[in-house]
Every structure is written in structure tokens, then in C-alpha cells.
Amino acid sequence: MTTDIRRRADRFRTRLPWLDSSHCFSFGPHYDPGNTHYGMLVVSNDDVVRPTSGFETHPHRDMEIVTWVLDGELEHKDTLGNSGAIYPGLAQRMSAGRGIWHSEKNLDPVRDVHFVQMWVLPDTEGIDPSYEQLDINPQLERGGLVPVASGKGLDAAIRIRQRHATLWAGRLAPEEAVAVPDARFAHVYVARGTA
């Protein structure tokens, strides 16, 4: 297996007055033809949104989007009528399917919200859009890696429409070691600390 380490300073970066975002792959105005995706993973962004700001209502199509909040709360609203706060330990999945519009906002007047968002290509295009949340704090407290979203039918995970993908998360203790699950492609994203 080949290992390619990309530290935050080496990734694409978008800095706006309300947003600090680092991108593992080509995203928005940043384009590198040799770095557009990894397997079925086409977006792996680490976003910090400043207080009382965020992403205005915008569209997505044919993408499985999983959001994981690290600090603060992210307010989600979409055209399916879903709305609510996403907080640490709550996994959110939005299947964009044939089309969905949504917004993501930090409503807090003081604190930033920090989150990771990953986009996976679906098995089938043009499906009905859908939305799901799952609180996995109890599983995370046990340690190790927890399946957050999967198309493989794993018990603890929310379902994504990509039978070859599983996204895992963990809150590892210092010096805790875990085995990376066996897969054709493995993208390890360290949101805090060092590896």
C-alpha cells in the first residue's frame, strides 16, 4: 500500500471573512488534475465557519454527503423540510439524488463551528433525495473506530448509497492504536492531534 501524507499546510485552502476551509482534493476554485478524488471519495473538507454566518441555500445533485461536527453546532435546513442542529457525535447524511437545496449556518453569536464534510459518489444517479442523522456518542465513548456511514449494511452506521464505501470515525486516546479497516482505498483524516 502506498502512503501519501498531506498535512494541512500542504492542502488547498479557502479563506474568506466567514470561512476557513482546507480541501484534501480539488474543490471550488482550486484545481489540480492529479488530485480530484481518491476512489469514490471526491470531497474531504475541514471547515471552520465564523459566528452568525455560513453557507447560504445552494444545490447538490447525485452525491452522498456526510457531515461530522467537531466543535460547536451547525444548523442544517433543506428543501425536504429537514432542519436542526448537528453537534459533536451526531453523524449527518444527505443523499442529494436527483437534486436537493440546503443551507448550513453557524447561528452562535460567539463561537466558531468546526466540521468535516466528505462527499462520496453514489452507486446510482437520479435517486430520491433523503436525509438521516444518527447520534453515535455511545459507540465513540467505547474507543476505537466506529462506522459512521456505510453502504455495506453495518449495524452502527447511517446508510449511504455506495455499496463499496464506509466512513469511520474515532475519538482516540493519546497513544491509542487502531488498525485501518481493510479496503481497496483508505483515506485517513486526522482532524485533531497527530498520527
Tens digit of pLDDT for each residue in 94-146?
A: 999 999 999 999 999 999 999 999 999 999 999 999 999 999 999 999 889 99
Q: Is the pLDDT of residue 6 over 80?
A: no
Position 5 confidence tier, pLDDT thresholds 50, 70, 90: confident
Element at 141 (helix H, strand E)? helix 137-141
The answer for residues whose C-beta is within 8 angstroms of residue 113's C-beta and 6 or more apart is: 48, 49, 69, 71, 72, 73, 74, 106
pLDDT value of residue 1: 60
pLDDT value of residue 69: 97
Q: Is the pLDDT of residue 62 over 80?
A: yes
Q: Is the pLDDT of residue 4 over 80?
A: no
pLDDT value of residue 57: 98
The C-alpha atoms of residue 188 and residue 45 are separated, in whole angstroms, by 13
pLDDT value of residue 195: 67
Going along the chain from its start, the domains and CATH numbers come out as 8-135 (2.60.120.10)
Position 41 confidence tier, pLDDT thresholds 50, 70, 90: very high
Contact between 155 and 138 under an 8 Å Cβ cutoff? The reply is: no
